[in-house]
Structure 1
Amino acid sequence: MILTDYYLMKEVKVRKSHRLDCVASTGEYPPFEYIAQKSRDKCFFLYYNGVPETFSMNAQRKADRAITNGDNISSVYIPDLENPLLGYGDTKGTNDALLFIFNADYKQLEIFVARGYKNNSKSLFNLFADGELSGEIDRMREQVVKSLK
Structure 2
Amino acid sequence: MNFTDYYLAKKLKEQKAKYRYEIARSTMEYDRFQFLLKNKRNPNSDGWSIYFIPRPVEWSGSERPDMAFTKRSENISSIVFPEPGIPYGYGDVKGTNDSLIVLLNEDFRIQGISEIEIFIARGQKHNRKNLWYELVDGELEYELDFLRQSAKELPIAS
Q: TM-score, normalised by structure 2?
A: 0.83
**Equivalent residue runs for 1:122-133 within 5 Å:** 122-133=129-140
Partners of 1:8 and 1:140 in 2: CA distance: 11
Task: Give the drift of 1:43.
Answer: 2.6
Amino acid aligned to 1:44: W
Give the superposition deviation at 1:28: 0.7
* Residue in 2 that maps onto 1:96: 98
Contact between 1:52 and 1:66, CA under 8 Å: does it hold in 2? no
Question: Partners in 1 of 2:80 and 2:34 — Cα distance?
Answer: 23
Task: Tell me which residue corresponds to 1:32.
Answer: 33
Report if aligned partners of 1:6, 1:111 keep a CA contact under 8 Å in 2.
yes
How far the C-alpha of 1:42 sits from its partner, in A, is 4.1
Closer, same or farther: CA 82–21 of 1 in aligned 2, 3 Å? closer
Counterpart of 2:76 in structure 1 is 73
Segments of 5+ residues of structure 2 without an aligned counterpart are none
In the alignment, the residues of structure 2 paired with residue 91 and residue 35 of structure 1 have an alpha-carbon distance, to the nearest angstrom, of: 12
Structure 1 residue 52: deviation in Å?
5.3
Show CA shifts across 1:89-127 (max 9, x none): 111101111100111121210000000000111111111
In structure 2, do the counterparts of structure 1 residues 140 and 14 end up closer, same or farther at CA, with 3 Å as the change threshold?
same
Show structure 1 runs of 4+ deviating over 6 A: none
Which residue number in structure 1 is paired with residue 3 of structure 2?
3
Question: CA-to-partner distance for each residue in 1:62-99, whole Å, 9 max, x for gaps?
Answer: 1111111121011010012241x110111110111110
Amino acid at match of 1:64: D
SS of equivalent to 2:101: strand
Residues 47 and 155, structure 2, Cα contact 8 Å, conserved in 1: no
Correspondence for 2:150: 143
Give 1:49's match in structure 2, choosing from 50, 53, 58: 53
Matched residue type, 2:102 = F
Which whole-Å CA distance do the structure 2 matches of 1:15 and 1:146 have between them? Answer: 23
Which segments of 5 or more consecutive residues in structure 1 lack a partner in the other structure? none
The alpha carbon displacement at 1:38 in A equals 6.0
Q: 2:155, 2:40 → 1: CA distance?
A: 16
Which whole-Å CA distance do the structure 2 matches of 1:60 and 1:119 have between them? 14
Identity among equivalent positions (%) equals: 36
CA contact (8 A) 2:89 2:102 kept: yes
* TM-score, length basis structure 1: 0.88
Aligned alpha-carbon RMSD (Å): 2.1
